[in-house]
């Protein structure tokens, strides 16, 4: 009888140890691990994910004088490159265009989100041969 009790206790101890070791060593990684992104990272990553699709539709004629050639992200700026076909661009016209470009950038809802997380916009205007005509940079400080 004592021998049977010892065997029973021995079997219970072995089963208990097996259950404990199974539960301890068979733990899987928690699939609910948190990924922490800043709002800037989230907005920027969303924009960068859409950028290839946007560029597929370029070049795009904006008006009779202006064609959008490319958009890219570099050095914490969204760089938009435009080609101007007009030969009659002078400093007086450029000074009038600059505030309009800044207002349009600030008024655009998507661009405003990027500006709010300190990502600037640089609009580069060039001739058809690639020579730079002028650039307009817009940052959050330009928006009221």
Residue 135 lies in a domain: yes
Q: Is residue 13 part of a domain?
A: no
How far is 77 from 42, CA to CA, in rounded Å?
A: 16
Structural domain for 43, as ranges:
39-142
Read off the pLDDT of residues 97-139 as tens digits, 9 standing for 90 and up: 888 999 999 999 989 999 999 999 999 999 888 888 889 999 9
d(CA 125, CA 33): 46
Cα–Cα–Cα angle for 125, 129, 132, rounded to 5 degrees: 35
Summarize pLDDT for 59-103 with one digit per residue, the tens.
Answer: 999 888 889 999 999 999 999 999 988 767 777 778 888 889 999
Q: Is 16 contained in some domain?
A: no
26 in any annotated domain = no
């Amino acid at each position: 009888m004592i021998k049977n009790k010892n065997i029973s206790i021995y079997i219970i101890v072995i089963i208990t140890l097996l259950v404990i070791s199974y539960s301890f060593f068979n733990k899987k990684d928690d699939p609910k691990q948190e990924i922490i992104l800043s709002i800037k990272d989230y907005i920027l990553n969303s924009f960068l994910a859409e950028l290839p699709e946007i560029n597929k539709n370029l070049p795009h004629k904006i008006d009779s004088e202006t064609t959008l050639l490319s958009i890219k992200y570099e050095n914490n700026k969204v760089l938009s490159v435009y080609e101007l076909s007009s030969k009659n661009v002078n400093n007086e016209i450029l000074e009038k265009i600059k505030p309009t470009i800044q207002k349009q950038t600030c008024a655009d809802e998507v661009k405003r989100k990027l500006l709010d997380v300190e990502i600037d916009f640089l609009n580069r205007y060039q001739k058809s041969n690639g020579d730079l005509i002028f650039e307009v940079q817009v940052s959050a400080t330009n928006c009221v």
